[in-house]
């Protein structure tokens, strides 16, 4: 009876549609499992026109009033594996029948699917962006930096093991031209203790890496790119915890949970992490030698002995979510602390003992967001943070040590003093305190379905004070202060046109920076010398603008173009100089400017047949940097102190391409391969005499310019127990050799590297417990990110993850 | 190359071919073994690559060798940057050569191998063979050491360092609660056996100034430019002075300078450091990457000054190892210019010398011929390009009365010049092919 009623309704509907709207059609379809059973209550969704329905208990569904044209239909349910397919409506009634696969481990896969759709949504906006999902990787004993390093076009260079100093290279741009954000807020708000070194992947939802062109909502002067870490917002009412232990006495633990009262909307979220490693891995080779009293070398194999790292942090947010007056209103407190021993400086040839840093951050935050604020289509968001950061650099040990951690003894039998007083430089216990305020506010207004305005403003201020306990009282009194205030405004217009085939994002940015410098000076007043203040402030402002567009060439193929005139404001040292390095100030120094361009092609999933699928991404890029800030050279010997400022003299250019291909076989095999190759070149063509520089268009030294990464995953279902799964991982990274100086001799060339890791995990049938194991650097190869700094060799790690959902 | 080399030539001329079979450490005058046929000696040219900025010389160092005849011939084209050999040093190498030009000595400046001493056998062209044994002095003298080959016939290199200059009442020191008395650093004096490639000896100590000087904040900031006296029993070390403002702890840029100072220590023990003072010069005398004091044929030591308020002087230290303040030789005065600074200089023979200078009236550098006995100086007649700078100049070769030097403006071609020390006349030698941003830094 019910069935025939529905049929009748369908028929009627068809008639009405046919009569009333000749340019629209309808879809009527059925959803079945492989074995023919109907898929009931599945969601059927056409994103581009926001049409949505559910299948009935016999698997039937219908969508009406659909304008003629191509569409992507998306079917999802807790019972099935998510399925996307394309249709073209060119008649009034399109009949479809779709066969779907049963979901195996519904809970995990469900979340992964959601993430992937977020990933593809961002990746289709036109920006040159990779979105790194952390869901699967967080089950393994991997660091956040490992995930970044495997991503296309990203090169992470770390000065040793867990916790050591890191720099990032995005498409040939590195150093302070790459900015890092946490939830859209500059990471300097948190400092070293809450950084990509300490935040475990399990607390991260995803990482967005924007290369060269940065969207308006990430408001900072990022010349070469931005890495935005989105912390997990969390599925509600869950608790997850994991514990990992492995080589080099490495222990990593993290925990996160959230609670929401569905009546009041009261929400509490909390997370915490703990990392510890001795990093006492073995090093060897030509850079690892003990120097005998007579100066001769003795090459040794030694364990690092002053390299321990510990970090601990917690974050709690309390407030309301999804209530009438706010989508979210959360007040948060983030505390983190780290301790980091430093084994050596730029090169590992001289081991240190007793040098370490400690840092702490206490951050209080408030976050508010609301869609349809006052009027329909208007979303507002606000983020405010006040941070108190403390850092201590401690280096007081006066003697030389060898690689066995023992004092070096000189020819006359005495321990040898370090040439500059302590391990790295002069003895120091330097306390650097920063108080930072970051306020970010934004509004998004959809003034029609296809047009959107985005405004974002960031205000950032940092007051820094310094106190070196090993300086005398008067010296301490005469240390200056530097206070920085930065305002970045961005306005973007986004349009989606031509039946959603074309997306454009046009944006302008305005950067303003003020730095106040106060240096104490002695002034003579009534014949007496008193302490006075010499104050100067520097104001810099500059506009920037850019565009990101995407065009769907075919259903499955999107063409992406983005460009930006990006800037980097000069740093305080570049403006005010550094008396200790004899650099004088240059108040008029201009920002560095780079014209960045990306052209790319990104595909959706192509099915070779039902079991073999692949997708790909290729992109070419250009970074044309001008007004690079470099230090002027003084040709005169006579100046009592070398007094040269920084100047806008340099020009570099980076041209390259990158690509990624993803192949899947059934649901078992997933292969990801990416590569990046670029030429980062010296770009000043003529010297003052009009002669062409030999370096012109030559590769800059110390750039890892060619990298390949691959990860392979194979999943076995129902191993040992039903509804369990066993996943195997393999990953490999290749970095081609490169010269580290302009002088191209073999001694200054890094070795070619190929480092391989394997891992596995077993997901228990209850889907709550996951046990994983990893073997990193399986062939114990010498790995180098930086010249003459060896990274950890073979390491074995075990990890247990536990999740409780819906308590 | 040095005065000793000339002694040898004189001896050779008088006595024909002889073998100097014994030669005491103490006289320090004669080379330990005769140079092999100097007719065939190589002339090694060194050039510095730019790194980020034209003329910074920080991109590394390349060398190339030719015969002495080729060096004299203006038809010879030497292109060290395209045909030369890269010396293992991250930044500009600190090169020295044996007296006969057959061996190059280098201590790498900064980098993973900073402080590493190595020897290269010069085989001509780009053929330089590094000896198997390296020795590293960085534990004693740091990874960017200042060092020079001593005037004792290729036997010894002297490296110097001044570390951790701090007030006596610095919190990390031994007397944090005492009243302020001085700023001092710890000096290291190290002897390197160039033949055996071994560190021979070292000392570390503080070198006090007078109480009054120290109370005003004066201290020795850097040591370099060492020379052995005629008796061979004292090492005279040049100083770079610094003054701290004792009320603020900051270093002062512009202050009333003390008379030039040198540190005198016993040789070879390096014991008993004492400070000698000049009342003539007020500049520093540690030099920069090259010798700044020479033992003259008359047994006196001649020392140049830099950062001297009245322009560079040549000072004289007599055989009693004290400044001879009756000897006054002002380059400003002798040249009739102001702000004359000796960037590098070379004693040739018989009181004749050449200096590379800059002065207030011109952007570029000049070559000056000096007669130390007559205290006269004149600018050598040769082309002076506006981009000619000698601030990084490191090496000269003395061959009889001739002094060989490289003259290239930054980014422009130049020549080897052969300077006659008796006449002050420059003769153009081989062409040095340059590249934009680079310059030649010496002849070895």
Task: Report whether pLDDT(A594) > 50.
Answer: yes
Secondary structure letter of residue A399 according to DSSP: B
Task: Report whether pLDDT(B35) > 60.
Answer: no
Same domain? A343 vs A437: yes
> Is residue B314 within 8 Å of residue B302, measured between CB atoms?
yes
Average pLDDT of span B251-262: 92
What's the pLDDT score for residue A582? 65
Secondary structure letter of residue A401 according to DSSP: B
Same domain? A203 vs A251: no
Is residue A545 packed enough to be buried (19+ CB in 10 Å), middle (13-18) or exposed (0-12)?
middle
Contact A411 B199 (CB under 8 A): yes
Out of A45, A68, A103, a domain closes at: A103
- Give all domains of chain B, ordered by start, each with its CATH number: 3-443 (2.130.10.10)
Residues of chain A in contact with residue B88, where contact means CB-CB under 8 angstroms, are 745, 747-748
Domain containing residue A593: CATH number = 2.40.170.20
What DSSP string describes B172-231? Answer: TSS-TTSPP--EEEEEEEEEEETTTTEEEEEEEEE----HHHHHTTEEEEEEEEEEE-TT
Same domain? A97 vs A114: no
Task: Report whether pLDDT(A435) > 50.
Answer: yes
Out of A201, A231, A261, a domain closes at: A231
Residues of chain A in contact with residue B170, where contact means CB-CB under 8 angstroms, are 470-472
Secondary structure letter of residue A124 according to DSSP: T
Closest approach of chain B CAs to the CA of A311, in angstroms?
Answer: 29
Going by C-alpha positions, the residue among B81, B113, B197, B84 that lies closest to residue B435 is: B81
Count of the separate structural domains present in chain A: 3
Secondary structure letter of residue B83 according to DSSP: H
Give the tens place of pLDDT for each residue, B10-27: 444 444 333 333 333 333
Nearest CA in chain B to A529: B247
| Cβ partners under 8 Å of residue A171, min gap 6 | A128, A153, A211, A212, A224, A225, A621, A623, A654, A656, A658, A676, A678
Average pLDDT of span B63-68: 96
According to DSSP, the β-strands at A225-231 and A238-246 are: unpaired
Contact A416 B139 (CB under 8 A): yes
pLDDT grade, residue A389 (50/70/90)? very high
Contact A474 B137 (CB under 8 A): no
Compute the mean pLDDT over every residue in chain B, rounded to the nearest whole number.
89
Q: Tokens at residue A484, please? A: 């920085």
Same domain? A99 vs A128: no
Same domain? A305 vs A426: yes
Domain containing residue A205: CATH number = 2.170.130.10
Contact A631 B53 (CB under 8 A): yes
Same domain? A77 vs A181: no
What's the pLDDT score for residue A579? 64
Average pLDDT of span B388-406: 93
Taking phi first (over 0 means left), then psi (-120 to 50 degrees means alpha), and beta for anything else, what does residue B188 get? beta
**Contact residues, A window 387-446, toward B, CB-based 8 Å cutoff:** 396, 400, 408, 410-412, 416-422, 426-427
Same domain? A388 vs A303: yes
Rounded Cα gap, residues A452 and A215, in angstroms: 14
Rounded Cα gap, residues B252 and A525, in angstroms: 20
Instruction: Point out the residue among B135, B186, B412 whose CB comes nearest to the CB of A689.
Output: B412
Task: Report whether pLDDT(A787) > 90.
Answer: no
pLDDT grade, residue B59 (50/70/90)? confident
Contact A294 B135 (CB under 8 A): yes
Nearest CA in chain A to B161: A419
Task: Report whether pLDDT(B31) > 80.
Answer: no
Give the tens place of pLDDT for each residue, A631-672: 766 555 444 444 577 888 788 999 999 999 999 998 899 999
Closest approach of chain B CAs to the CA of A668, in angstroms?
Answer: 47
Give the tens place of pLDDT for each residue, B171-201: 877 888 889 999 999 999 999 999 999 999 9
- B38 backbone dihedrals φ, ψ, rounded to 5°: -70, -10
> Is residue A12 within 8 Å of residue A4, measured between CB atoms?
no
Same domain? A391 vs A531: yes
Sign, CA dihedral B122-B123-B124-B129, equals: negative
Instruction: Point out the residue among B138, B169, B391 whose CB comes nearest to the CB of A350.
Output: B138
pLDDT grade, residue A499 (50/70/90)? confident
Residues of chain B in contact with residue A410, where contact means CB-CB under 8 angstroms, are 139-140, 202
- A and B: number of Cβ contacts within 8 A: 188
Instruction: Point out the residue among B81, B142, B249 whose CB comes nearest to the CB of A471.
Output: B249
Instruction: Point out the residue among B55, B164, B204 whose CB comes nearest to the CB of A427.
Output: B164
Rounded Cα gap, residues A333 and A353, in angstroms: 35
Task: Report whether pLDDT(A63) > 60.
Answer: yes
Would you give the end-to-end CA distance of chain B in angstroms?
9
Same domain? A335 vs A247: yes
Give the tens place of pLDDT for each residue, A282-321: 999 999 999 999 999 999 999 999 999 999 999 999 999 9
What's the pLDDT score for residue A7? 42
Residues of chain B in contact with residue A691, where contact means CB-CB under 8 angstroms, are 411-412, 436
Partnered with residue A135 across adjacent β-strands are none
H or E stretch covering A586: none
Is residue A422 packed enough to be buried (19+ CB in 10 Å), middle (13-18) or exposed (0-12)?
buried
**C-alpha of B192 from chain center:** 16
- 3-state class of B48 per DSSP? strand
Same domain? A699 vs A789: yes
> Is residue A421 within 8 Å of residue B164, measured between CB atoms?
yes
Same domain? A178 vs A35: no
- Mutation target among A292, A635, A652 for the B interface, most CBs of B within 10 A: A635
Would you give the end-to-end CA distance of chain A in angstroms?
41
Cβ count near A653 (within 10 Å): 19
According to DSSP, the β-strands at A612-631 and A646-665 are: antiparallel
What's the pLDDT score for residue B21? 36
Rounded Cα gap, residues A319 and A258, in angstroms: 12
Same domain? A291 vs A166: no
Give the tens place of pLDDT for each residue, A105-129: 433 333 333 334 578 788 888 899 9
Contact B133 A295 (CB under 8 A): no
Average pLDDT of span B294-301: 97
Closest approach of chain B CAs to the CA of A409, in angstroms?
Answer: 10
Rounded Cα gap, residues A713 and A730, in angstroms: 6
**Contact residues, A window 489-548, toward B, CB-based 8 Å cutoff:** 520-522, 529
Contact B188 A294 (CB under 8 A): no
CA distances from B311 to A637, B304, B370 (A): 12, 10, 15
What's the pLDDT score for residue A145? 93
> Is residue A16 within 8 Å of residue A9, measured between CB atoms?
no
Residues of chain A in contact with residue B306, where contact means CB-CB under 8 angstroms, are 637-638
Instruction: Point out the residue among B50, B62, B199 whose CB comes nearest to the CB of A295.
Output: B199
- A189 backbone dihedrals φ, ψ, rounded to 5°: -60, -30
What's the pLDDT score for residue A807? 60
Task: Report whether pLDDT(B361) > 60.
Answer: yes
- CB of A475 within 8 Å of any CB in chain B? yes
According to DSSP, the β-strands at A250-260 and A289-291 are: unpaired
Closest approach of chain B CAs to the CA of A276, in angstroms?
Answer: 29
Give pTM, 2 decimals: 0.84
Residues of chain A in contact with residue B391, where contact means CB-CB under 8 angstroms, are 634-637
pLDDT grade, residue B39 (50/70/90)? low
What's the pLDDT score for residue A329? 96
Closest approach of chain B CAs to the CA of A217, in angstroms?
Answer: 34
> Is residue A621 within 8 Å of residue A597, measured between CB atoms?
yes
Task: Report whether pLDDT(B270) > 80.
Answer: yes
Range with lowest mean pLDDT among A335-339, A443-447, A701-705, B344-348:
A701-705
Domain containing residue A78: CATH number = 2.60.40.1120
Give the tens place of pLDDT for each residue, A535-581: 989 898 999 999 999 999 988 899 999 999 999 999 888 888 776 66
Sign, CA dihedral A561-A562-A565-A571, equals: negative
Q: How many CA atoms lie within 13 A of B362 on its CB side?
A: 17
Question: Domain containing A24: what range?
Answer: 2-103
| Cβ partners under 8 Å of residue A392, min gap 6 | A357, A358, A359, A429, A430, A431, A432
Nearest CA in chain A to B439: A635
Task: Report whether pLDDT(A13) > 60.
Answer: no
What DSSP string describes A691-719? Answer: PBPTTBTPBPSS---EEEEEEEEEEEESS
Residues of chain B in contact with residue A743, where contact means CB-CB under 8 angstroms, are 49, 59-62, 86
Contact B247 A689 (CB under 8 A): no
């Amino acid at each position: 009876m019910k069935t025939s009623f529905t049929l009748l309704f369908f028929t009627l509907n068809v008639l009405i549609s046919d009569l009333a709207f000749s340019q629209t059609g309808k879809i009527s379809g059925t959803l079945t499992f492989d074995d023919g059973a109907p898929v009931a209550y599945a969601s059927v969704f056409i994103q581009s026109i926001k049409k949505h329905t559910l299948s009935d208990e016999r698997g039937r569904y219908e969508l009406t009033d659909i304008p003629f044209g191509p569409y992507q239909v998306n079917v999802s349910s807790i019972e099935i594996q998510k399925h996307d397919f394309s249709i073209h409506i060119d008649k009034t009634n399109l009949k479809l029948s779709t066969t779907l696969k049963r979901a195996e481990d519904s809970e995990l896969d469900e979340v992964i699917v959601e993430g992937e759709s977020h990933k593809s949504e961002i990746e289709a906006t036109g920006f040159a962006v990779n979105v790194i999902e952390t869901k699967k990787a967080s089950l393994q004993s991997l660091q956040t930096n490992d995930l970044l390093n495997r991503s296309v076009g990203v090169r992470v260079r770390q000065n040793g093991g867990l916790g050591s100093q890191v720099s990032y290279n995005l498409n040939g741009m590195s150093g302070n031209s790459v900015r890092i954000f946490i939830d859209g807020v500059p990471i300097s708000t948190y400092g070293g203790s809450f950084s990509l070194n300490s935040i475990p992947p399990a607390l991260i939802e995803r990482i967005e890496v924007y290369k060269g062109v940065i969207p308006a909502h990430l408001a900072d002067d990022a010349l070469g790119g931005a890495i935005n870490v989105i912390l997990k917002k969390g599925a509600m009412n869950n608790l997850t915890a994991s514990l990992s232990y492995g080589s080099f006495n490495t222990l990593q633990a993290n925990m996160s949970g959230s609670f929401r009262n569905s009546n009041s909307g009261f929400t509490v979220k909390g997370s915490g992490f703990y990392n510890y490693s001795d990093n006492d891995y073995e090093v060897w080779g030509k850079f690892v030698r003990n120097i005998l009293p007579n100066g001769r070398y003795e090459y040794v194999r030694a364990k690092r002995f002053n390299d321990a790292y510990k970090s601990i942090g917690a974050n709690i947010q309390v407030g309301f979510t999804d209530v009438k007056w706010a989508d979210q209103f959360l007040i948060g407190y983030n505390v983190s602390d780290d301790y980091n021993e430093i084994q050596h400086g730029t090169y590992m040839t001289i081991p240190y003992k007793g040098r370490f840093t400690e840092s702490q951050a206490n951050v209080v935050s408030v976050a508010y967001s609301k869609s349809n604020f006052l009027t329909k289509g208007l979303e507002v968001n606000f983020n405010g943070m006040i941070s108190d950061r403390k850092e201590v650099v401690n280096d007081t040990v006066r003697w030389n040590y060898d690689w066995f951690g023992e004092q070096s003894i000189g020819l006359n039998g005495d321990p040898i003093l370090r040439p500059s007083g302590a391990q790295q430089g002069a003895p120091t216990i330097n306390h650097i305190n920063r108080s930072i305020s970051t306020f970010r506010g934004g509004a998004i207004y959809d003034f029609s379905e296809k047009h959107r305005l985005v405004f974002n403003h960031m205000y950032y201020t940092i007051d820094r004070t310094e106190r070196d306990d090993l300086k005398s009282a008067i010296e301490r009194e005469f240390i200056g202060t530097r206070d920085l205030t930065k305002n970045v405004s961005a306005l973007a217009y986004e349009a989606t046109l031509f039946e959603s085939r074309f997306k454009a994002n046009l944006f302008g940015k305005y950067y303003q920076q003020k730095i106040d410098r106060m240096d104490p000076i002695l002034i003579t007043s009534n014949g007496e010398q008193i302490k006075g203040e010499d104050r100067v402030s520097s104001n810099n402002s500059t506009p920037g603008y850019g565009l990101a567009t995407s065009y769907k060439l075919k259903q499955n193929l999107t063409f992406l173009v983005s460009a930006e005139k990006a800037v980097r404001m000069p740093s305080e040292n570049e403006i005010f100089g550094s008396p200790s390095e004899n650099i004088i100030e240059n108040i008029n120094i201009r920002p560095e400017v780079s014209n960045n361009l990306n052209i790319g092609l990104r595909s959706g999933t192509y099915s070779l047949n039902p079991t073999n699928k692949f997708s790909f991404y290729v992109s070419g890029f250009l970074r044309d940097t001008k007004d690079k800030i470099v230090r002027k050279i003084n040709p005169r010997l006579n100046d009592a102190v070398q007094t040269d400022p920084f100047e806008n003299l340099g020009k570099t250019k980076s041209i390259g391409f990158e690509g990624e291909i993803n192949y899947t076989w059934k649901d078992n095999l997933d292969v990801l391969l990416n590569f990046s190759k670029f030429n980062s070149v010296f770009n000043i063509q003529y010297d003052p005499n009009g002669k062409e520089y030999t370096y012109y268009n030559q590769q800059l030294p110390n750039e890892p310019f060619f990298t390949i990464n691959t990860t392979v995953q194979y999943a076995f279902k129902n191993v040992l127990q039903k509804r369990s799964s066993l996943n195997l991982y393999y990953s490999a990274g290749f970095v081609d050799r490169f010269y580290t100086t302009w002088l191209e001799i073999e001694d200054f060339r890094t070795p070619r590297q190929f480092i391989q890791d394997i891992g596995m995990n077993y997901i228990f049938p209850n889907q709550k417990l996951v046990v994983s194991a990893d073997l990193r650097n399986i062939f114990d190869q010498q790995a180098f990110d930086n010249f003459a700094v060896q990274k950890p060799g073979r390491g074995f790690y075990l990890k247990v993850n536990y999740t409780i959902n819906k308590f | 190359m040095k005065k000793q080399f000339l002694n040898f030539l004189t001896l050779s001329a008088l006595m024909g071919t002889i073998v100097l079979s014994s030669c005491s450490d103490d006289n320090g005058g004669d080379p330990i073994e005769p140079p092999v046929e100097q007719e065939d000696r190589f002339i090694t040219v060194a050039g510095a690559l730019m790194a980020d900025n034209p003329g910074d010389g920080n991109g590394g160092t390349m060398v190339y060798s030719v015969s002495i005849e080729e060096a004299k011939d203006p038809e010879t084209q030497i292109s060290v940057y395209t045909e030369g050999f890269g010396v293992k040093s991250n930044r500009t190498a600190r090169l020295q050569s044996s007296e006969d030009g057959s061996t190059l000595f280098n201590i790498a400046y900064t980098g993973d191998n900073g402080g590493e001493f190595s020897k290269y056998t010069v085989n001509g062209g780009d053929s330089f063979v590094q000896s198997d044994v390296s020795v590293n002095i960085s534990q004693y003298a740091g990874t960017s050491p200042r060092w020079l080959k001593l005037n004792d016939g290729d036997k010894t290199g002297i490296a110097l360092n001044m570390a951790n200059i701090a007030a006596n009442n610095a919190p990390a020191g031994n007397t944090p609660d005492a009243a302020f008395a001085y700023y001092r650093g710890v000096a290291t004096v190290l002897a390197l056996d160039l033949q055996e490639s071994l560190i021979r000896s070292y000392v570390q100590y503080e070198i006090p100034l007078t109480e009054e000087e120290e109370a005003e904040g004066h201290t020795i900031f850097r040591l370099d430019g060492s020379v052995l006296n005629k008796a061979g029993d004292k090492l005279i070390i040049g100083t770079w002075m610094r003054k701290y403002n004792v009320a603020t702890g900051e270093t002062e840029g512009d202050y009333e300078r003390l008379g030039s100072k040198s540190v005198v220590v016993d040789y070879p023990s390096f014991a008993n450091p004492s400070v000698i003072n000049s009342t003539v010069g007020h500049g520093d005398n540690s030099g920069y990457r090259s010798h700044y004091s020479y033992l003259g044929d008359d047994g006196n030591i001649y020392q140049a000054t830099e950062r001297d308020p009245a322009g560079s002087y040549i000072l004289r230290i007599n055989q009693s190892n004290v400044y001879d303040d009756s000897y006054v030789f002002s380059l400003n005065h002798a040249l009739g210019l102001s702000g004359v600074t000796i960037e590098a200089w070379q004693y040739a023979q018989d009181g004749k010398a050449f200096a590379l200078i800059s002065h207030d009236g011109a952007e570029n550098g000049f070559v000056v011929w000096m007669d130390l006995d007559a205290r006269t100086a004149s600018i050598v007649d040769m082309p002076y390009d506006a981009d000619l700078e000698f601030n990084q100049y490191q090496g000269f070769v003395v061959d009889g009365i001739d002094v060989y030097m490289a003259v290239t403006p930054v980014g422009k071609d130049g020549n080897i010049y052969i300077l006659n020390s008796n006449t002050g006349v420059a003769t153009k030698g081989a062409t040095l092919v340059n590249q934009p941003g680079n310059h030649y830094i010496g002849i070895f």
